[in-house]
A = this chain, B = another copy of it.
Amino acid sequence: MATPQDRQLVEQWRSIQTTYFRTAGAIDRALESRFNIGLTEFEILDLVAESEDAACRMKQLGERTPMTQSAMSKVVDRLDKAGLVSRHSCEDDRRSLFLELTDAGRALHREAAIEHRALLKENLA
C-alpha cells in the first residue's frame, strides 16, 4: 500500500508543484503589473529572442516548450496584436511562419528579462 518510497515520491512531487506555482505566480504577477504581459507571453518572447537567426520558427519553438501547438498559436496571436512580434510567412514552405521581435518587443523583452531572472533567482534558491 503506502510504502515509504511512495511517500517520498509524493513529497518530491508536492515540492515540485509548490516551487512551480510559487515561482510561476510571482513572475506572472510581476510581468503583468509592470509590463502588461503574462508569463507565457514572456516565455515566447524569450524563445524568439534567443533564436534571432533561424527561419520558420513557429514549429521549432513549439518543440522547446511544453505548450500545445494551439496554445502557442494563441499566445503568438496576442503578442502580434500587442505589437511585440510579427509573423512572416516562409518563402520555401508557405505553411510555416517565421517570427520576429518588433523593436517594441525587443525593448520590452530586455526589461522584462531582468525581472524574470531576478525572480527565478529568488525562487529557485
Which residues in A have some Cβ–Cβ distance to B below 8 Å? 2, 5-6, 9-10, 12-13, 16-23, 46, 65-66, 113, 117, 120-121, 124
Interchain nearest-CB distance for A63 vs B (Å): 12
* B residues less than 8 Å from A66 (CB atoms): 17-18, 20-22
Q: Quick one: copies of this chain in the complex?
A: 2
Please indicate which of the listed interface residues A2, A17, A22 has the most CB atoms of chain B within 10 Å of its own CB: A17
Which residue on B lies nearest to A67, using beta carbons?
Answer: B21
Cα distance A2–B113 in the bound complex, in angstroms: 9
Q: Please list 8 pairs of residues, one from A and one from B, whose beta carbons are closer than 8 Å in the complex, sorted by A's number.
A: A2-B113, A9-B117, A9-B121, A10-B46, A12-B120, A12-B124, A17-B66, A20-B66
Interchain nearest-CB distance for A3 vs B (Å): 8
Of B5, B18, B124, which is within 8 A of A13 by CB?
Answer: B124
Cα distance A23–B41 in the bound complex, in angstroms: 23
* B residues less than 8 Å from A19 (CB atoms): 16
Cα distance A18–B13 in the bound complex, in angstroms: 13
* B residues less than 8 Å from A46 (CB atoms): 10
